[in-house]
């Protein structure tokens, strides 16, 4: 099931009691982030958590060879950065805007004030932490064991979900840069280009510029080989 590789917490704000939701929204400090602008950096101490009003944020780590490995991409309506706050540790990764985004910051004291008085928020964040850990563990296992062709197919299926606005949307265009897609799949740009070219020739995807649209889901699922 593709769902074991897809994480989102867009439900959190909507499932909060109105009083808790109002408290969080009241203390949110919104800021615009340009594409490729850093939100936080690995090793720095957190001072709050973040909520994406619009846009997309990637979190990644850099390996010993200086190569970037994208761990996940957060979408509008999602919280992120709460793991470091809850564990009282420095950020274990870096977060950067994939596209022009508006991100709201919730200061640490305000966040804990709501958390201390909301059993619902505590439960939802515990659910998020558990699910996110499971998804990242599944992704890391796949990236370390599968072929590049399998990894690229899986990443395209994940991104299709991230770029889909609603379930009824007929055409979904993935607009992630080739560099980011290569980093997400754990490969280099040249290899990614060859795989995408093969997928296009096999009529699995449509490409124009940096845009990609999936044409044959069933075959991509088969190639991804995640059963």
Per-domain residue ranges of the chain: 2-142, 146-224
Domain 146-224 has CATH 1.10.10.10: yes
- Asked if residues 122 and 186 have their Cβ atoms less than 8 Å apart, the reply is no
Q: So what's the pLDDT on residue 137?
A: 82
Place of tokens 């995640």: 226
Least confident of 48-57, 92-101, 161-170: 161-170
- pLDDT by residue (tens digit) across 111-166? 999 999 888 999 999 888 888 888 888 887 777 788 999 999 999 999 998 888 76
Q: Indicate whether 93 pLDDT > 90.
A: yes
Query: What 3-state class would DSSP assign to 52?
Result: strand
Q: Indicate whether 108 pLDDT > 90.
A: yes
Average pLDDT over residues 46-60: 95
Q: What distance in Å separates the CA atoms of residue 156 and residue 136, rounded to the nearest whole number?
A: 16
Q: Indicate whether 1 pLDDT > 70.
A: no
Mean pLDDT, all residues of the chain: 90
Contacts for 129 with CB less than 8 Å, ≥ 6 apart = 82, 83, 86
Q: So what's the pLDDT on residue 165?
A: 75
Q: So what's the pLDDT on residue 227?
A: 58
| pTM check: above 0.75 | yes
**Helix or strand run (H / E) with residue 54:** strand 48-54
Average pLDDT over residues 31-39: 97
- pLDDT by residue (tens digit) across 65-77? 778 889 889 999 9
Q: What distance in Å separates the CA atoms of residue 151 and residue 142, rounded to the nearest whole number?
A: 7
Residue range 2-142 forms a domain whose CATH class is mainly beta
3-state helix, strand, coil in the chain (%, to 5): 45, 20, 30
Q: So what's the pLDDT on residue 168?
A: 62
Q: What distance in Å separates the CA atoms of residue 212 and residue 207, rounded to the nearest whole number?
A: 5
Q: So what's the pLDDT on residue 169?
A: 62
pLDDT > 70: percent of the chain: 96
Q: So what's the pLDDT on residue 11?
A: 84
């Amino acid at each position: 099931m593709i769902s074991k590789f897809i994480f989102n917490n867009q439900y959190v704000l909507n499932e909060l009691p109105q009083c808790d939701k109002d408290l969080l929204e009241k203390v949110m400090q919104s800021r615009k982030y340009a594409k490729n602008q850093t939100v936080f950096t690995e090793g720095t101490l957190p001072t709050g958590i973040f909520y994406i009003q619009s846009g997309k944020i990637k979190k990644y780590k850099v390996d010993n060879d200086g190569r970037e490995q994208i761990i996940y991409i957060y979408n509008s309506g999602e919280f992120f950065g709460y793991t470091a706050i809850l564990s009282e540790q420095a950020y274990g990764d870096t977060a950067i805007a994939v596209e022009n985004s508006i991100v709201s910051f919730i200061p640490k004291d305000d966040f804990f004030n709501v958390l201390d008085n909301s059993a619902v928020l505590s439960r939802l964040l515990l659910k998020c932490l558990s699910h996110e850990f499971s998804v990242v563990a599944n992704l890391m296992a796949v990236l370390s064991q599968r072929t590049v062709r399998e990894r690229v197919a899986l990443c395209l299926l994940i991104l299709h979900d991230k770029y889909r606005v609603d379930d009824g949307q007929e055409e979904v265009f993935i607009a992630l840069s080739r560099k980011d897609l290569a980093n997400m799949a754990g490969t280099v740009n040249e290899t990614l280009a060859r795989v995408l070219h093969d997928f296009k020739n096999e009529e699995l995807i449509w490409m124009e510029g940096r845009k990609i649209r999936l044409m044959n889901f069933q075959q991509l699922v088969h190639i991804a080989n995640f059963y």
